[in-house]
Amino acid sequence: MSTQTELLLIYTGGTIGMVEDAETGALHPIDFSQLEKEIPELKKFDCNITVKSLIKPIDSSNMNIVVWQELLEILESNYDSFDGFVIMHGSDTMAYTASAISFLLENVNKPIIFTGSQLPIGKIRTDGKENLITSIEIAAAKENGKPIVPEVALYFEYSLYRANRTTKVSAENFEAFQSPNYPLLAEAGVHIKYNRFAIRKWENKKLIARKSIIDHVASIKIFPGLRRDVFLAIANLPNLQGLILETFGSGNVPSDTWFSEEITRLNERGIFVLNITQCTTGSVIQNKYETGVHLERAGVISGKDMTFEAAITKLMYLLSCEELTDADKRSYLDKNIRGEIS
């Protein structure tokens, strides 16, 4: 049996998979059977790289749960046959998809590395080649026969992040992503420096894929002057099961009586209300000020230092776990289950 590392490269769409037509200048998807022609450096890897594409690659702005389900199916059906995975994805919604996969795939013990680019891979100044080459190197990296990064991660511009800790912060800089509340898993320079303390430990467990995803969720960003009728337009959605409040500072909202009343009604309807700060860094601490304490009393769950992307996808994931009671779901929303909370 061959001991050579086997990697699966999955293309979902996005800028990284585009090349420019020499005559017209128009962008079109790369022919992945000719990937080594575009990136000859791939020939130097001591591993076999298999390439697979979604049935219909998409612009990442069109990402939805149906595509997540297709991606989950690819990962689950190929999981035992490969040592690691690299997923090429458009950068706009990459943090959402990477976070979703980190929750929907339980017991991950192999590298699943998301990457993309700000410029098409066929452009002279593209960041796509370096991002893809280093992602492949990380996905193939082993120590004592075990993967160095046995988790879902995101690589972009010399930095490897935990997937569910990322958020896109720039539409034009090559350093497009940040991990506001968690250190880098690795930094790529002359050598790749792995921050072992930050990487999840390898566990020998069987993969479980959750492909039934509940999307009856919504969010409300709190702002000065928020009207009750505007709040209710979302809060009164008939099939709503989960609501994220994007709050001020350490989890604060106006102390208006109507706000507490409506939050209490949501709780009585069995709707999970999760509190996430609008701040880039820091954490929700609901018992710090009176403007946050009344949320705690009304049954709002603290999202602590989760990113919005992690919070919304974690909510979708837990709502889909039919074997859990509502009390279990509330408990897990409040706890760190995939490294998403400090």
Q: Are 186 and 162 in contact (CB under 8 A)?
A: no
Strand spans (E) along 157-289: 159-162, 167-168, 177-178, 186-188, 192-194, 208-209, 217-221, 242-247, 272-277
15 catalytic, yes or no? Answer: yes
3-state helix, strand, coil in the chain (%, to 5): 35, 25, 45
- What the block records as the tokens of 247 is 């709050």
Map residue 183 onto helix, strand or coil: coil
d(CA 195, CA 193): 6
Q: Where does the chain have alpha helices with state H?
A: 35-38, 65-78, 94-104, 128-140, 228-235, 257-268, 290-297, 308-319, 326-333
- Tally of residues, the chain: 342
* Residue among 103, 67, 68 nearest 310 (CA): 103
> Are 213 and 104 a contacting pair, CB within 8 Å?
yes
Q: How does DSSP classify residue 264?
A: H
Encoded tokens for 209: 């894929």
- One-letter amino acid at 325 equals T
Q: Which of 15, 115, 167, 307 is catalytic?
A: 15
User: Using an 8 Å Cβ cutoff, are 162 and 112 in contact?
Assistant: no
CB atoms within 10 A of CB 257: 9
How many whole angstroms from its chain centre is CA 104?
Answer: 11
Among all residues, which ones are annotated catalytic? 15
